[in-house]
Amino acid sequence: MEPEPEPNSISVYVIVIICLVILSAFFSATETAYSSLNRARLKLKASEGGKSARLALSLSEKFDKILFTILVGNNIVNITASTVSALLFTKLLGPSIGSVMSTVVLTIVILIFGEITPKLVAKSIPEKWAILVSPILKFFIIILYPICFIFNGLKWILTKVFKLKDYDVITDEELKTYVEEANEDGTIEDSESELISNAIDFHDCEVGDILVPRVNVVAVAIDMPMLKIKNVFKKNAYSRLPVYDGTIDKIVGMIHEKDFLNAFERGDTNLRGIVKKTALATEHMRISTLLRSMQKSKVHLAVVVDEYGGTLGIVTLEDILEELVGEIWDEHDEVVEYFDKIDEKNYRVDGNAEIGDFFELFSIDPSKHECDSQTVSGWVIENLGDLPKKNDSFEFEGLRIIVNHCSQKQVYEIKVVIMDDDDEEDD
């Protein structure tokens, strides 16, 4: 007959197991906190002067060291808890039943109190938890350093053998996903989300995507009579006009309406004294590069030249800023409705509408269709394969495109008819 276990020894076993479960909870929660914390928030707290926050930020920058420490510590704790639990239940219930009960009870306890609960808590407050436990974690890093050093060596060997690389760089698409999630959670407003997304895409946008094409540029000749120039300003309500010498392919600068009116009042007979310089750009230049160039030169208008040195179009500072903040309207701007919905199946579309907006409106995937044009007009001419004529039409992705108004070189307006399946079969 086995002797009854002493109550004092049972209490010691129970206390040891409780302490080990608490340590298991600590390691589990810490792993979750450091793997899911927001480093931007942690940096903000560290910059506010918190010593523990600075330590937590420093530790988060060495995540491999933290991970090795946590895994080693957690395994040591769980193995020790399993051993102590087996000894306790063997003393209480005997070898056969005790080992089974020890496994069942400890598994349940570890799962609930050592894994699931602490991880749920840490997931909800990762930065706070990381800051709170950073001094304790630092202690374990020092204590377990010899064992972790061996695992670091093993990692180095595996990295060399399998040519593994760390991919810590956040891509633009990942950053946009974070912004969308923040917007969905209500952390940032729709307008803020749009502004951040535009800022991410800003560097990838080219001058050719936003320029005012040559055919739409309103410019004046340097020797044009002052009264006629005044009428051009009055008719178009622009604050600045490009100035060319002989041909629009030779733009020599720009004039501001205020400077012109002052010169007109003084009785000046030509523009030469008020012409200001412009910036130069190419079609494939990044708008972020052009913006810096315009800021440095202190100019508000850039001339876009083609490969032959001719004028392709112009870009204003306002055009560039609109890529960030959206359309900027002033009291003189005429609001143009590019898309007019007639009924459920019929639309009128302005030829100057951007082809990207057209595809988006009719849920067309642009990646499936090669298009060299920026506007609906150019796209229609591409698909017709000839000079446009009124009532010319073609079918595209379940749409019938009909030319409403055009000239020999440009389509001014089209009609878009959403076709039914029956219509497509009849055709």
pLDDT in tens, 103-161: 899 999 999 999 999 999 999 999 999 999 999 999 998 988 888 788 777 777 877 77
Q: How far apart are CA 108 and CA 104, in angstroms?
A: 6
Ramachandran angles phi, psi of 399, nearest 5°:
-120, 145
Strand duo 346-350 + 339-341: pairing: antiparallel
Q: Reduced to 3 DSSP states, what percent helix, strand and coil does the chain have, rounded to the nearest 5? A: 55, 15, 25
* H runs (alpha helix) in 163-256: 172-184, 190-202, 226-236
Residue 15: the pLDDT is 92
Dihedral Cα 242, 248, 249, 251, nearest 10 deg: -30
- pLDDT tens, 256-289? 999 999 999 988 888 888 999 999 999 989 988 9
Cβ atoms within 10 Å of 311's Cβ, excluding its own:
20
Q: Quickly state the pLDDT bin for 402 (edges 50, 70, 90).
A: very high
Ramachandran angles phi, psi of 310, nearest 5°:
-80, 165
The mean per-residue pLDDT over the stretch 26-46 comes to 87
Tokens 């960030």, located at residue: 324
Residue type, 213: P
Residue 195: the pLDDT is 79
Q: Cα–Cα distances in Å, from 71 out to 30, 34, 60?
A: 11, 13, 16
405: closest CA among 413, 397, 393? 413
Joined tokens for residue 309: 């040195």
Q: If 0-12 CB within 10 Å is exposed, 13-18 middle and 19+ buried, where does residue 286 land? A: middle
Strand partners, 254: 242, 276
Where is mean pLDDT largest: 5-9, 223-227, 324-328?
A: 223-227
Residue 165: the pLDDT is 62
Residue 129: the pLDDT is 92
Kindly state the DSSP code that residue 418 receives in the 8-state scheme.
Answer: E
Residue 158: the pLDDT is 74
Q: How far apart are CA 134 and CA 283, in angstroms?
A: 53
* H runs (alpha helix) in 94-125: 95-109, 117-124
Output 420 or 416, whichever has higher pLDDT: 416
- pLDDT tens, 341-399? 898 889 999 988 888 889 888 888 887 877 778 888 888 998 888 888 999 999 988 89
85: closest CA among 3, 20, 1, 7? 20
Cβ atoms within 10 Å of 13's Cβ, excluding its own:
18
- Whether residue 1 is predicted with pLDDT greater than 50 in this model: the reply is no
Side by side, the strands of the sheet bearing 240-245 are: 220-221, 240-245, 247-256
- The answer to whether the Cα torsion of 357, 362, 363, 365 is positive or negative is negative
- Whether residue 99 is predicted with pLDDT greater than 90 in this model: the reply is no
Give SS3 for 254: strand
The mean per-residue pLDDT over the stretch 311-330 comes to 81
pTM check: above 0.75: no
- Whether residue 168 is predicted with pLDDT greater than 70 in this model: the reply is no
End-to-end CA distance of the chain: 97
Residue type, 410: Q
Given a contact cutoff of 8 angstroms between Cβ atoms, the answer to whether 233 and 242 are in contact is: no
Q: Quickly state the pLDDT bin for 81 (edges 50, 70, 90).
A: very high
24: closest CA among 135, 89, 118? 118
- The answer to whether the Cα torsion of 376, 381, 387, 390 is positive or negative is negative
Mean pLDDT of the chain: 85
Q: Quickly state the pLDDT bin for 329 (edges 50, 70, 90).
A: low
Residue 137: the pLDDT is 92
Q: Cα–Cα distances in Å, from 108 out to 85, 112, 271?
A: 12, 6, 88
Residue 169: the pLDDT is 61
- pLDDT tens, 174-187? 777 777 777 777 77
- Whether residue 332 is predicted with pLDDT greater than 60 in this model: the reply is no
